[in-house]
Structure 1
Amino acid sequence: MFEVISISSAFFFGLLVKQIGLPPLVGFLVAGFAIYGLSDPLNLPQETGEILDYISHLGVLLLLFAVGLKLKLRQVLQVRVAGSALVHFAVSTAILTPALAVILQLDAYSAMLVAMALGFSSTVLSAKMLEAKRELVTFHGRMAIGILVIQDLIALVVLSGFGGDIPSPWALIVLGLPLLRPIVYRLLDLTGHDELLILMGMLLALVVGGMGFQTVGLSSELGALLMGVLLANHKRASELSESLWGLKEVFLVGFFLKIGMSGLPDLAALGQAVLFMLLLPLKGVLFFFLLIAFGLRARNAFLTAISLTAYSEFGLIVAASLLPEWIIPLAIAVSMSFVLAAPLNALAHALFERLEPFLLRFERPGGHPDEFPVNLGNAEIMIFGMGRTGVAAYDAILSHSDRVIGLDADDYRVTQMRASGRNVALTDAEDANFWHGVNVDGLKAVMLAMDDVGAKLNAARQLRALGFAGPIIAHALYEDHIEKIEHAGADQVYLTMHEAGTSLATRAWSELERREREVD
């Protein structure tokens, strides 16, 4: 019965909010509230909570494993990443502790723990939104994920220090994980491309990373993330992530339902949750100015801060362990922050364009670590996105002209492309700084081969705004994207799978004609 209600509610509420431009996860949260409110009339079984906890936990572990597959450890170890996370946690705790003590009339210890719970940002929501926009590999995406990893480590320290849960001495085994990389790489090579690949991903995320880390007193979420990082440099890491995509998405519906079903507040708890929501903008503002202080440009500081402006599910874990009486108002605050943060993240680039003149005033003078000016040189053909489609287009163009340049937002992919001899530069199609400085006068044609439709729309509009009159050719994953991309300025848009099928048929017919000629 519960499966019928939860799946139906999640689908219809998700579909409803999608019609008004909100991400489906907002609908899943609302469905959770609705199910909880109707639990008594529908007489749902008591074990429902355990089932939902289990499913949602699997979804979180698979998501963090997928994030780890796209994360390089040295991103986390950068001073600006660790520094921003640590300083933000210290400053927010120092500011909120006395404020909460006065407003909520709490003792210093309880006020500090609530302040700490509010100091964390949601790993699940941030990773989910960045992944949906294909921005995990961009500069601001890597910054956000790196900060979240440091925050997860801080949460582990808080739980250990204040809750008395000291990791087992066996936890030191984790330091030997890099020694397992050759074995894990070999296993991944042997799995092939079918169900064994999915099972291996689940084995690493749920068994080795999840249960394994939990057994030695460490966070299962951290374990799943680190197992993904262990495989991040493997050539099939992207394929493994894609194979787990559908499974992860289904389980994550359970996570958002669970957050919504945390409970309905009384007036006191609702007032406390509203207070926490009024404090939420301080989280994003503090992150923005800290990132500016560490030398980032206003754009990446703003996009990173937006990604981190939501209360964390880890805050609920801290509350459940140390302050159980605060679990309901914190759960409501987390839910409300998700509802607010989801559309903000979806509109982040448009918001920055609107606020850009104001935000640029806070940039530090001089060079910035996230500034990647691009010189197109003598290139006549420009290709945005150097994934499999972009690389195939690049190599095909070389048979006609060597005056071609590829652009990609993933610096590791750019490094690989350059090592293979391809002319590839690092930039982000949605970075206004790139469009302000690029000279397109020498270009004759542009191909848009990135996956994210929003990036294609922005690139096509920017090219036309710069006066580029040459052909813009793009591919689309879905038929309903074609009209949008053409309206933005593209001359021709091809359905990727349709073109693959057409090419396959052409080759098959050519081979058939060749054999017929040989017979004749």
Structure 2
Amino acid sequence: MTELVWVGTAYIGGLIASRLSFPPLVGYLVAGYILHSFGIELGQTLARLADIGIELLLFTVGLKLKLRSLLRREVLSVGGLHLLFVTGIASIVFLWLGEQTLGGLILGASLAFSSTVLAIKVLEDNGELSSLHGRGVLSILILQDIIAIALLAFADGRQLSPWAFALLILPVLRPLAHRLLTVSRADELRLLLGVSLALAGGVSSEIVDISADIGALLMGVMLADHPQTDDLANKLWGLKEVFLVAFFLQIGLADLPDRAQIINALGLLGILPLQGVLFFVLFLLAGLRSRTAFISSLALMTYSEFALITTGAVVKANLLSSEWNATIAVAVAGSLAIAAPLNRYSHQLFSRFEPFLTRFEKKTGHPDRLPESIGMAEWLVVGMGRTGVSAYNALHQQEKRVVGLDADPTVLESLLAEGRRVIYGDAEDPELWAGLPLDRVKCIILTLPDFEARCSAVRQLRKREYAGQIGTICYFPEEKQKLGQLGANFMIHPLVEAGNQLARQLGRDNSRLRE
């Protein structure tokens, strides 16, 4: 019965939050406070489920950990400098408040972390996870997560056991783990393998007297370069989110914030825009354009779920008073509630402030720069996924002068290595269409997966009075209608067209057989 109350209340809270355009986890935290007010206590079952959620979270972070992505200039400079600056300021504030300096230092560092859950969700919903700024944000989040793990280990206060070095045998087990993932072809088997490895990492770490979180992370790192890690991470995503609900519930169940704690939380929320400004300035200094810096800064302008975890560890180690648990919980929930709608309209917000923000750009040779020419191209394919590449190849076989455009640096690198003519560009960027020379271009083909991105591109092209043809894809009748109203000339449903092509091809083959 208790479990049903937990799950049902969390669902209702998450549903109400999502309907109000807030992240569901804001609703989970509120649900915890409501349950606490009704006298429902935190049980061992919920605490263990919360621990599993954290272990799965860190395991998936390990799966995405690639050293090359962390060594990029903007990742180290922006992520590192932001962390040092915020940690220093927070430490001074905690010292001024009379709190323990060491606890304040750890908590200050944790306040520099951004919400991994919200940022990835926003980028994924906008179809920007693989874009240049999406990869930059993800790399900074992973860097922050690694530092958070180190802080957790430090705050935990455990003496390093000689048996801890037994974890060094994990690389030896790497071929076995890779083999297990390769032979686990069924979806449920891969899911079970991922959960098993995450829990095994936690148990093995606890045996040698190390935090279970670190063991789960190391297990993920062990699989990081396997070709199926993305698939495994995607399968674990939903399960991890379910278990993390228990973590957010237990925060609210632990204690209700009093007036002083709410005031402190509001103070933390008041300085959150300064963190966004700091991110923006650092991104500009790293050579990114103002648009990329602005969208990335909004995605990172939150307090992280890890702040809740590190605060709990600091309080448990008696480095700070227990009142900070409730304060940080309210601050994290409030930051997510503020950031969610801002990120939803990040492109529109930048368009409004673009004349002011572009003044601060540095003129550098960073890959984020806009293309200045497309040569003698007469056809432009925007979005070089499977559909875009197929369109490019068909035009190339007809000896058309065609150029591809995409916002994913890894896609461009691969296509350039294959000898295709491709350039970098974000289709939702008005500055791209305003400056791109299209006088020779007869037709532009839009194969972007995101509907809003296609609408934005058509709108911008017609706004600059592009007179050529615009062809694009659509998946629903209402999409076709809106794209047509915006100015697209030709629209097809990829799956419908595949069926038509299959029928035509089989029909021709049967006719030949009869002849």
Instruction: Say yes or no: TM over 0.5.
Output: yes
1:83-107 CA distance string (max 9 Å, x none) = 22222111112112223443x4424
**Identity within the alignment, %:** 34
Offset, 1:337: 1.0
Q: Which amino acid aligns with 1:420?
A: E
Q: Does 1:79 align with 2:73?
A: yes
- Return the match for 1:314 from 284, 302, 306: 306
1:436: Cα distance to partner? 3.4
**1:352-367 pair list within 5 angstroms:** 352-367=350-365
Structure 1 partner of 2:109: 116
Name the SS of the counterpart of 1:406 in structure 2: strand
Do 2:52 and 2:199's aligned partners in 1 also have CA atoms closer than 8 Å? Answer: no
Which residue number in structure 2 is paired with residue 373 of structure 1?
371
Specify the alignment match of 1:169 in structure 2: 165
Paired AA for residue 259 in structure 1: F
What's the CA shift for 1:197? 5.3
Query: CA RMSD of the aligned region, Å?
Result: 3.5
Q: Please state if 1:49 is matched with 2:36.
A: no
1:278 and 2:270 matched: yes
- Which residue of the partner structure matches residue 146 of structure 1? 139
Q: Would the alpha carbon gap of residues 193 and 159 (structure 1) be closer, same or farther in structure 2, given more than 3 Å must change?
A: closer
C-alpha distance in 2 between matches for 1:92 and 1:252: 28
Residue matched to 1:131: 124
**Correspondence 1:289 to 2:281:** yes
Query: Paired residue for 1:409?
Result: 407
Question: What does residue range 323-342 of structure 1 map to in structure 2 within 5 Å?
Answer: 323-324=315-316, 325=322, 326-342=324-340
Question: What corresponds to 1:298 in structure 2?
Answer: 290
Quote the residue 1:398 is aligned against.
396
Measure, in 2, the Cα distance between the counterparts of 1:431 and 1:49. Answer: 45
Q: Matched residue of 2:381: which SS?
A: strand
State whether residues 295 and 369 of structure 1, in contact with CA within 8 Å, keep that contact through their aligned partners in structure 2: no
Q: What SS class does the counterpart of residue 380 from structure 2 fall into?
A: strand
SS at match of 1:310: coil
2:30: which partner in 1?
Answer: 33
Q: Given residue 302 of structure 1, which amino acid in structure 2 is its aligned partner?
A: F
For residues 421 and 280 of structure 2, the distance between their equivalents in structure 1, rounded to whole angstroms, comes to 34
5+ residue gaps in structure 1? none
Q: CA deviation at 1:4?
A: 5.1
CA-to-partner distance for each residue in 1:468-516, whole Å, 9 max, x for gaps?
233322223555544444444323333333333444444455555555x
The one of 229, 244, 247 equivalent to 1:255 is: 244
For 2:205 and 2:501, the matched residues in 1 are separated by: 48
Please state how far the C-alpha of 1:363 moved relative to its aligned partner.
2.0
Alignment TM-score, normalising by the size of structure 1: 0.83
Aligned length, in residue pairs:
500
Q: Distance in 1 between matches of 2:203 and 2:433?
A: 47
Distance 1:404 1:145, change over 3 A: same
Distance in 2 of aligned mates of 1:375 and 1:419:
20
Instruction: Letter of the 1:33 partner, please give it.
Output: V
Q: Counterpart in 2 of 1:495?
A: 493
* 2-structure distance, mates of 1:363, 1:396: 39
- Which residue matches 1:436? 434
The answer on whether the counterparts of 1:429 and 1:455 sit within 8 Å (CA) in structure 2 is yes
Shift of 1:199: 5.1
Counterpart-to-counterpart distance in 2, 1:377 and 1:455: 25
2:455 is aligned to 457
Q: Which of 71, 75, 89 is matched with 1:95 structurally?
A: 89
Instruction: Confirm or deny: 8 A CA contact 1:32 1:259 kept in the other structure.
Output: yes
Change (3 A) 1:322 1:54: closer
* 1:319-376 CA-partner distances (Å, limit 9, x unpaired): 1111241212111211111111122222112111111222222223444452142522
Gaps of 5+ in 2: 317-321
1:37 CA displacement:
0.6
Moved more, 410-419 or 184-193: 184-193
Q: 2: distance between equivalents of 1:89 and 1:30? A: 29
Question: How far off is 1:215 after superposition?
Answer: 6.9
Is the aligned partner of 1:226 residue 2:221?
yes
Q: How big is the shift at 1:247?
A: 5.4
Please state how far the C-alpha of 1:108 moved relative to its aligned partner: 3.1
- Checking the alignment, whether the CA contact within 8 Å between 2:403 and 2:421 is kept in structure 1 is yes
Confirm or deny: 8 A CA contact 1:13 1:30 kept in the other structure: yes
Closer, same or farther: CA 129–6 of 1 in aligned 2, 3 Å:
farther
Following superposition, the deviation at residue 378 of structure 1 comes to 1.9
| Range with greater deviation from structure 2 (163-172 or 280-289) | 163-172
SS at match of 1:430: coil
Q: Which residue of 1 aligns with 2:344?
A: 346
Residues 29 and 260, structure 1, Cα contact 8 Å, conserved in 2:
no
Displacement of 1:310 in angstroms is 0.8
